[in-house]
Structure 1
Amino acid sequence: MRLPHALRPRRTTPAQTQAESPEGPHADPSAAPAGRRFIDFPRHGRRGLRRWTPSWKLVSGLATLSAVSLGGAFAVVYTQVEIPGAHDSARRQATVYYWADGSRMVSVGDVNRQDVTLAQVPVSVQRAVIAAENADFYSDTGVSFTGIARAAKSIVEGKETQGGSTITQQYVKNTYLTQDQTVGRKVKELVLALKISNSRSKREILEGYLNTSWFGRDSYGVQAAAYAYYGVPAEDLNPSQAALLATLLKGADSYDPALGPANHRRAVERWKWVLDRQVETGVMSAAERARHQDFPEPKKPVKPTSQAGQTGYLVDIANKYLKSRGGITGKDLADGGYRIHTTFDKEKVDSLAKAVEKVRKDGLDPKKRAADRHVEVGAASVRPEDGAVVAVYGGADAITHFSNNADTSGVPAGSAFKPFVYAATLEPLSAKVRAVEGADRRDQGGAKLSVAVPVPAFAGTPLVEAMTGTSHAPFVEAGKEIGLRNVKRMAVSAGLREESMAKLEPTFSIGTSTPSAVRLASAYTTFVNEGNQTEPYSVTKVERDGVPVDGFAKPERRRAMSDVVAAQVSGALLNTGWSALNAKGSDGADGATSDAPRGPVWAGATNAGDYMRSAWFIGSTEKLSTAVAMFRTKPDAPQLLGMQGVGGPDSERGNVFPVRIWETYHRTVDPAPSDRRADPLRPAEEAAAPGARETQEPGKPGKPGKPGKPGETQEPGEPQEPRGRA
């Protein structure tokens, strides 16, 4: 039986098929499929780029399929995740700090928290927190959809998620989860936040959030924070104080105004923003906002009694290192479970404290002399070998004197800054000399010859002589000549912090900058370590719940200045050390303070001509570099008090005392360096002219001899006499 004509298959030639194609006679016959495909990709009947461009139907279909799949997966997760039990604060482990020898130093970890009902929290506190953290808290679903999108994107990219959470999400994280910023934890947080939002009232969630949030100062919850910052219960907080507590939720480590000038500036700015934000969101009137113009300064933090004496200062320095090196926050530490091994040497810490107490007792009489009142001392000892901070003196007692004097940044260095000016002046000269004389000059016997850098003179005085004198003019002129930016660059390269540098004015070269004792002690090791600098460190190992925390390997050495410059500056520092230690004995009399044999001491110091309201002495031996600062301050005075008259008329504005503290301390912990490559300290006038030649043969130990002469330098790799041990 024959089919009707209309139903018979049409016979066409290849030419006819190509001619009748939608693309015309130039279409690619191979692109035409034998039959219709479920997914038309690459697209049939298309050529070039159009063949590989998906149609809108395909794109929309795939998007719909992805959304359905993601929604289905989320629904499965939602049904499977149960709301866990809340954290048990009593089960939190303490954070333990250890001395360098492995013995326990202190355990910190009692949870400071006292729950209150929402009715006990002033409305002003509730409004401030909501305005700062989640303005649409009462109308949202408990989650941030931007956070969900961010989490989804992170899942696809294999990255971690970050902040932007609602109050409900933060409450879930505080109460049920860890603080880890991982994708899995973020997804679980979103699911739990939805469940909590659907099963509890907003008031219950807000109450839980206020009772579990971290406010700093070891305070969990608004009640503990109210006592820690203002000494009152939460119900007595006023709107201005409430705005500051809301500010702290952004990060107490950065916004507690008592933790330094930068923190104070940030706190004031955000405090203003929180108040303004309440006006913007309609919960505070402009008239009420106008009544809150004065920043509500909180009381000073109080250390727990377990951190009395120097312990609190040691914990403070270790914590700062943890935060800067490993990204560990104050809340992390308060959550507990850490085992922190430090570089602090218990014997040296005790000896340094005793040395300060002895010199204060012998030389100061605050009951009889008004000038002896409000005197503070800060000191730090760093190991030149590797930069380890082995001891600090932060003040009389960490629980009564909160500021850490060993790590303060408000005491001008005065003449103790001059070595960095000298080094900056020598650096370009040494490069020229090295270029002319070569890097490997030897005599006929094969011994290396030193590269002599001409000693520059300014204001009619060679800088090497001005190092031990009281004249400032040569250094002011030197700074102008070489450029204050170059001086600053040298000081920072040697290890001083950028933020401690003063304005680049003519007085910059005579020490208006305010480095800490820790940083000055560390920076001076650069001169005795052949120009190499190592960042000071205070933590050697960190574990949490038995698992090692990465990021705490020893800092590596780096080149801060040429070895030629370092050797020449250290020659001048040896003379400064001799002059200071033999003129200002710890017993108050002239002459050397100890008959015990002593190796070389590289030192810098302030002098009576500084008039900078501070007294410094920094002395480095082969084993220890110790910086001691003395200054006067009191809470109600914005600036340091004058040092005139401290200790009586013969104290040289207090400059005799840091030297005596240094000598008393070093006599106990570092009486005689084991490798003595120099004779005992000798008068500066014995120093010979620059350009002297080394007689030591390559590869052989150096013979005992005189300390390095001013201007004397030598080639890289040649053992110096004296030099810091690498």
Structure 2
Amino acid sequence: MSILFRQIEARCMVLRTPDTGTDSGAACREHGSSSLGCSNLAKVEAQTEGTPTAAIRGSHAREASAAASRDPVPDLEEIEVSKTASKRHGMFPRLSSASLKFVRVPFTKDGFSGAPATVATMASQKRSASSRPRSARSASSTRSSGGDAYDSYSSQKASNSASRNPSGAHDSKHGSHRAHGSHSQRNSRTSSAASSRRVAATRHSGPGTHRAEGKGPKTRVKGRHLILKWSLGLICTFIAVAAGAFAYLYVTTEIPQPEKVAMAAKTTVYYADGTTPIGSYAAQNREIINCSTLPKYVGQAIVASENRTFYQDRGIDLRGIARALLTNLRTGSRQGGSTITQQYAERYYLGETTTYKGKLREAILAIKIAQTQSKDTVLCNYMNTIYLGRGAYGIQAAAKAYFNKDAKDLTVSEAAMLAGIIPAPSTWDPAISPKQATSRFNRVIRIMKEDGYITATQAKEAAMPQTITQTTENTYQGFKGYLLTMVEQELVNSKAFTKDELETGGYKIVTTFDQTLQNEMQSVGDNRASGMPEGMQIGALAADPRDGSIKSIYGGNDYLTHQLNNATQATYEPGSTMKPFALLGAAQAGVSFNTVFNGNSPQTFKGLVSSVANSGNVSYGYINLYKATAYSVNTAFMNLNEKLTPQKTAEIAHSAGITSDIDETSPYNVLGINSVTVKELTQAHATIATGGVKHTLHCVSKVLSSDNKELYAAKTGDERVFEENDCALVIKAMEGTVEYGTGKEARSIGRTIAGKTGTANDAYAASFVGYTPQLISTWAMWYPDANGNPQEIVDFNGYTHSEYPVHLFTEFMKQALNGTEDIAFPTATDDGKVGGPDGTWGTGRSSTKRSYSGSSNSSSPSPSASATTNAGTAPSTGTTDEGNSGATTSGGSAGSGAGAGTGGTGAGGTGAGADGTGGDSTTGGNGTTPQQ
């Protein structure tokens, strides 16, 4: 640096010489010859003494060129002249002092007379360049970077040489510049400008001896320093902006509510025992559990697999983030650098995110979570939300999917296997990639040992566990689909839950379904009799009438192939199972069930075009309501309904529980011409079975939260709608259906059962409803065609259309009531008046005449289809003696062949013979009214 200052001092002295008019030699003699400039001058004078002027000039040019190539430090003349030219002539207005172009100004023995010319030449070139056409300036600007200043000097040199050398040529050792000028005397500025234009148009050739401006070692170092400074500035600016943005986002970001899908847990539906699952509802297969029930090594295995620094970091891992970022920039892929806290923040609060903006928010949220939530909380929530393959979300669902056990029962090896496959569970499932799964398992075990979670012995004993075979069974397959949809619909209809809440709430739903009864009902319904037509539909439902809890249903064979639930959704014509509601209306009206109604067939009724006939067109004569119920006599109930009114019958049916529309204007409604579902018919009869208290049928007992808090309890209603004795009279009449009427097969159950058969018009449907005090069951069948239109049910395998539902009921109830208590129905008191309060009901005969007092214990057989239509005479008072034939205590005796059976004591009744109706009026002593 000191050498540079000395050079500057000496050369400044030389440069000042032209301004004072003193030659260079004088300046050196005046100021001393110790400076480097004077030493060079002395050398030049000594070497050129006696040499011709032209040769000296040539020598000077060569020396100047050689010196420029040797001296790495810019000559002071270059700096000074550049500054002088810039100040005086406005040159290089856009260049800073650090980037000024250098020009070497040689001096001669005669002084520094060339400098003013050189500066003038540079100014002239500046002006001439600005005045030239754009194309010329562009061409000039594409010259070698040797620099304008040096070319200006060369132009001046050539001009001077041309004035002395007629040939106008000047050669150098390493290259040549040719310039032509006039021999006339011009001022130096004009000559220099012209020469500059010519030189600008002349292409420099050869290697040359002058280095390009700004290309020296010093300039390259400065250039590199400048680039470094700019780079550091940009980096610092980026860091500052990023830090500011991060600080802003940190301040403004709040921990949001958890994502709905992250909180989503499957709701499990159980049988009435509360432990046996039926199925589940789930947006995702997830079960939220209390992590305090888990062994510690379950969470430790996940930490070992996913984030070894979890218990030390503050939510994020800067090293991991940087590594992932570099990988992403290099490969264009998306690699995660997430900690467990970040993954938890993404799944629990944000949802899946892959953008850099999303990842930044994720990182900020992770930091805040780490500051506000304990590590155990974060880890537990992570374990409850992470996907582990096989459709399982969370450690509990995964434990069941892979090992068919609860997470609390996982072993160290099983926990390590599950933790190992977290990054790619579907790919690394042991059933798919056993080698990769084993490798990941070994890695987790090794880290757990290294980090002190397990002992060396435990690690040595750990072996890759065996997983179960993944099943693809649909939870709605078979009959379970009917149960699950029933439960869902009941809860949604109650307004207690939405469907979405059921799918994500993680509830425990305890139903009223009895697993044993459900399996038995399904077995009976599926075990069809041979010869049954293909496409025959069966629906059934069993419930406890005392509280309305549904015990079982038969909705169909398989929900996946037949989604319409035959027990709750499909409708059919109930037929004569509607008659008990008219019977109940008679009891309410104060009509004794001993009132006699015309049971002949066929009959015509007021306002009806078509006549009405009994099944098989059998005439039963004048019979009381007990007999009319047991044998399901259509004409007798049409007469009753005519007096009661169809509106009253419909009203009672609706009060009992029928929700479907019933024609209130048609007398036929008592014959069941309006379609209903199995469920609503069961509800209506259950109201009668309980003595007039309506307990709403339901299939959900209660709903519990994931922590076993009760959220919902069944509301059964418990509404009294009928008088208990009125219902008891109806039950007494329905007992005759099973004891001696159309439902005799049910007697084999061995219990006191009330029931009623029903056949739709043209045999389009058939049904039977029966019950004990503790269990009611309804079975129905119908036969739709391909378009859903009803078809006649033909006899098959020895069963008539009306008999098969009774058979199904009997088979089911035998098993359902097995081992249960035989409970008797309440005693009924028939205190109504024969013929009704006004004596106009039934035949209208005086109440002083003996009425029928039907016995529910009669075992007399029903008439066959070959019975005649002759009716017996009106009953008269019997004697106390036995009749000539027939039992005195049980009615008419069995007829023989086609003949007439004799009347029992109390003559005139029909004998209910096996092959024909009795017409004998033989009297006997003190007998009871014969039963049909």
RCO higher in structure (CA 8 A, sep ≥6): 1
Looking at CA atoms only, which structure, 1 or 2, has the larger radius of gyration? Answer: 2
How would you bin the TM-score normalised by the shorter chain?
0.3 to 0.5
- TM-score, structure 2 length as denominator? 0.38
- TM-score, structure 1 length as denominator? 0.48
